[in-house]
């Protein structure tokens, strides 16, 4: 969310209290929005939600981005804040799993946020990008504009949907269907067999593309979208999905200035993490790399904006 404040005393330096007040206003709006969305999706009112992660994406004074606004003067004070919330029941389940594995739960991070945060450090994404993580059970979409994560969306269609479709149509086990899907994705299935699989998967692929269009339109809010779409996750290996993205009339159906670049992210493109042993090999390794990057960032967080954000969160008891 982006909050704009027109300051009455432009010549007066911005104080830590003023910064916290702006953050508090943004966080309250995000909390209400999260509760409304969860209520709409579940049909239940007053579900207890908790903050999972939050970050100040950018601060601008009279249009100029600043790292620390305290002490600056100006009329227009703009803050962009990202926050992710989840139902208390789901967070409790994660904590139980961590305890069962005898692990310390350091933090809970929204997967699309971690992905966008990690990859937006690359030079190629300065003007923004759309990140699509095609996992086993879900597809996550994150919109990044001007280096800041604006919003994320998720829908329940991932790689396992295609596996189950193959298993049902061909009358084989899920395990066999998964092997067949991977072989098909690697280009090892040829001729009539390849055409048959393509035909079997076509309805799910179209449903997936329709969902992508709907959620990207929702994320855009009518504003111009960035010119690049990056895919990650094991499901991104499925050539049919790549073909759907490349053949889609983006400029006709959504607010793109030009046809966006479609690219699958590979581990070597993530410049913020090194892999000296060569263990990270393909797109399905990107999300774990993004979570590792978040762990590194946690150790380095100690600036004025983050301290102000954490004070607000503590006072809100979320």
Q: Is 21 helix (H, G, I), strand (E, B) or coil?
A: helix
pLDDT for the residue 314: 63
Percent of the chain with pLDDT over 90: 39
Mean pLDDT of the chain: 86
| Closest of 178, 131, 139, 142 to residue 157, by C-alpha | 139
Asked if the model's pLDDT at residue 210 lies above 80, the reply is: yes
Pick 144 or 243 by higher pLDDT.
Answer: 243
- Categorize the per-residue pLDDT at 313 as very low, low, confident or very high, splitting at 50, 70 and 90: low
Pick 211 or 303 by higher pLDDT.
Answer: 211
Asked if the model's pLDDT at residue 126 lies above 60, the reply is: no
pLDDT for the residue 123: 45
* From 63-67, 191-195, 302-306, the region with the lowest mean pLDDT: 302-306
- Categorize the per-residue pLDDT at 32 as very low, low, confident or very high, splitting at 50, 70 and 90: confident
* CA 47 to chain centroid: 23
CA distances for 190 relative to 163, 180, 193, 237, angstroms: 18, 12, 6, 17
- List where CATH 3.30.1490.110 sits in the chain: 1-105
- Categorize the per-residue pLDDT at 62 as very low, low, confident or very high, splitting at 50, 70 and 90: very high
Mean pLDDT, rounded, for 78-107: 85
- Categorize the per-residue pLDDT at 146 as very low, low, confident or very high, splitting at 50, 70 and 90: low
Asked if the model's pLDDT at residue 124 lies above 60, the reply is: no
- List where CATH 3.30.420.40 sits in the chain: 109-300
* From 100-109, 118-127, 183-192, 243-252, the region with the lowest mean pLDDT: 118-127
| Closest of 301, 309, 304 to residue 23, by C-alpha | 309
pLDDT for the residue 94: 87
Asked if the model's pLDDT at residue 145 lies above 80, the reply is: no
pLDDT for the residue 257: 93
| Closest of 233, 171, 247, 253 to residue 205, by C-alpha | 247
Contact 142, 115 (CB under 8 A): yes
Which are the contacts of 219, defined by CB distance < 8 A and separation ≥ 6? 130, 141, 143, 150, 151, 153
Mean pLDDT, rounded, for 56-80: 87
- For 165-193, write each residue's pLDDT tens digit: 999 999 999 999 999 999 999 999 999 99
Mean pLDDT, rounded, for 49-72: 84
CATH tag for 1-105 (out of 1.10.150.240, 3.90.550.10, 3.30.1490.110, 3.90.1170.50): 3.30.1490.110
Query: pTM to 2 decimals?
Result: 0.76
Structure tokens at 79: 């803050």
Pick 257 or 151 by higher pLDDT.
Answer: 257
User: In the CATH scheme, what is the code of domain 109-300?
Assistant: 3.30.420.40
- Categorize the per-residue pLDDT at 209 as very low, low, confident or very high, splitting at 50, 70 and 90: very high
């Amino acid at each position: 969310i982006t909050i704009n404040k027109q300051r009455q005393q432009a010549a007066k330096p911005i104080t830590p209290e003023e910064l916290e007040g702006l953050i508090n206003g943004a966080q309250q709006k995000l909390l209400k929005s999260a509760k409304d969305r969860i209520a709409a999706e579940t049909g239940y009112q007053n579900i207890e939600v908790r903050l999972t992660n939050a970050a100040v994406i950018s601060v601008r004074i009279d249009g100029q981005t600043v790292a620390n606004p305290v002490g600056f003067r100006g009329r227009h004070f703009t803050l962009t804040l990202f926050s992710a919330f989840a139902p208390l029941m789901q967070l409790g389940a994660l904590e139980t799993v961590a305890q069962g594995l005898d692990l310390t739960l350091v933090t809970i991070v929204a997967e699309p946020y971690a992905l966008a945060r990690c990859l937006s450090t690359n030079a190629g994404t300065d003007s923004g990008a759309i990140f699509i993580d095609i996992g086993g059970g879900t597809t996550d979409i994150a919109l990044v504009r001007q280096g800041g994560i604006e919003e994320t969306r998720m829908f329940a269609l991932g790689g396992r949907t295609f596996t189950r479709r193959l298993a049902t149509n061909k009358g084989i086990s899920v395990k066999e269907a998964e092997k067949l899907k991977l072989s098909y994705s690697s280009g090892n299935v040829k001729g009539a067999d390849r055409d048959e699989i393509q035909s079997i998967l076509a309805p799910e692929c179209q449903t997936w593309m329709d969902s992508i269009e709907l959620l990207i339109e929702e994320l855009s809010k009518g504003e111009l979208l960035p010119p690049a779409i990056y895919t990650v996750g094991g499901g991104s290996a499925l050539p049919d999905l790549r073909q759907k993205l490349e053949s889609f009339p983006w400029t006709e159906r959504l607010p793109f200035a030009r046809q966006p670049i479609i690219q699958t992210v590979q581990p070597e493109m993530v410049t913020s993490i090194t892999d000296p042993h060569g263990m990270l090999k393909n797109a399905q390794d990107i999300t774990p790399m993004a979570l590792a990057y978040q762990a590194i960032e946690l150790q380095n967080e100690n600036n004025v904006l983050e301290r102000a954000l954490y004070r607000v969160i503590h006072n809100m008891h979320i």
